Amino acid sequence: MSQLFGIGDIVRVIDAHPPGHRRTPYYCRGKIGKIERVCGEHRNPEELAYGFDGKPLRRLYRVRFNQSDIWGHYDGPSEDTIDVDIYEHWLRSAE
Amino acid sequence: MMNETEKHEHDHGHSHGDLDADAHALEHIHDHDRQFQPDLEDTPPTRYELMVYAIRELLIEKGHVTQEEITKARNTLESWQPSRGAEIVARAWTDPDFKTRLLADGNEAMADFGVDAGGAKLTVLENTDEVQNVVVCTLCSCYPRAVLGLPPDWYRSKAYRARVVVEPRKVLKEFGTDIPDEVTVRVHDSLADLRYLVIPKRPAGTEDWTQEQLAAIVTRDSMVGVTNPKAL
């Protein structure tokens, strides 16, 4: 599977709310962040949760968001961040 | 094995009378009721505990696992203690090559300590003069058990999980940790196949300490990022 994103790429988390076991937290859906690290391919937990084999493997990234982009009311310094582990199929390019 | 009713009757017949007499005597001396600490069995098992018992019994009955294997697994789990993480941090503080390896590939470097993290990818974050890293799992309670043991209750609490992502500085303050505005706070939400360990900042005044002395001040909480070690 070819790698869609590299370190530093700007991405948007898709703003979708499918039912079932999803490991993308609601607070970052639809938000824009930057790829901090590429973390290899893993079995898909959304499939594993229901007893399937978790294939095809999904590439995992750490996406860094500015806290102020996630929470409108964040009152700390604007440099503060939150890093979230997100699978590739939840990400789209936002370049 | 006795069931609960038999056990209760047994207690009633033979020991309650003596305890009552003791309590009565104490009441006269101290003029207040004697307080008994509740035992684990005093509250009824929860729905989930009952399910665990049932599944365990079925697995044993059907020959999938033995009680001995379960006991062994539990002992292994309980042997995982935060002292392992503390030794790893103390080595990283004193051995720059090791620290470089640790930051590049946690699993590879921790193998030096006989730590097998299984499928989880250990990701190590370094606190500096500019950055304070804090770890949470907002979905459940993902935690680097192989190096820190079982997570503390507060780490699994909804309050910590919900608040530390929104107001990390306030939460850290409640742990007694004040982060000045010029230090960036990075929260790490551990949701998938990664497990995070924080290398806290080595405190000033520990320059000539041995690895053992250093390991002694590296607390569990400091490796989650909610406190910072201090030179004693």
Predicted-complex ipTM score? 0.95
For testing the chain A interface, which of B133, B134, B194, B198 should be mutated: the one with the most A CBs within 10 Å? B194
DSSP state of A89: G
> Does any domain span residue A5?
no
A49 touches chain B (CB under 8 A): no
For the packed helices B96-104 and B82-94, what is the interaxial angle rounded to 10 degrees? 120
The total of structural domains in chain A comes to 1
Class (C level, CATH) for B81-224: alpha beta
> Does any domain span residue A57?
yes
pLDDT confidence tier of residue B27, bands split at 50, 70 and 90: low
CA triple B119-B124-B126, angle to 5 deg:
175
Q: Contacts of residue A80 in chain B, CB cutoff 8 Å?
A: 168-169, 184-187
Residue A70's domain is classified under what CATH number?
A: 2.30.30.50
Residue B2: is its pLDDT beyond 50? Answer: no
pTM score over 0.90: no
SS3 A13: strand
The ranges of chain B annotated as CATH 3.90.330.10 are: 81-224
Q: What is the pLDDT of residues B168-222, one digit of tens each?
A: 999 999 999 999 999 999 999 998 788 999 999 999 999 999 999 999 999 999 9
Residue B214 CA to residue B203 CA, distance in Å, equals: 10
Dihedral (CA of B100, B104, B106, B109) sign: negative
Asked if B79 is an active-site residue, the reply is no
* CA dihedral angle for residue B140, residue A47, residue A17, residue A64, rounded to 10 degrees: 60
Residue B8: is its pLDDT beyond 60? Answer: no
Provide the domain limits for residue A41: 10-93
Dihedral (CA of B43, B46, B52, B53) sign: positive
> Does any domain span residue A1?
no
> Does any domain span residue A41?
yes
Contact in structure between B19 and B26 (CB atoms under 8 Å): no
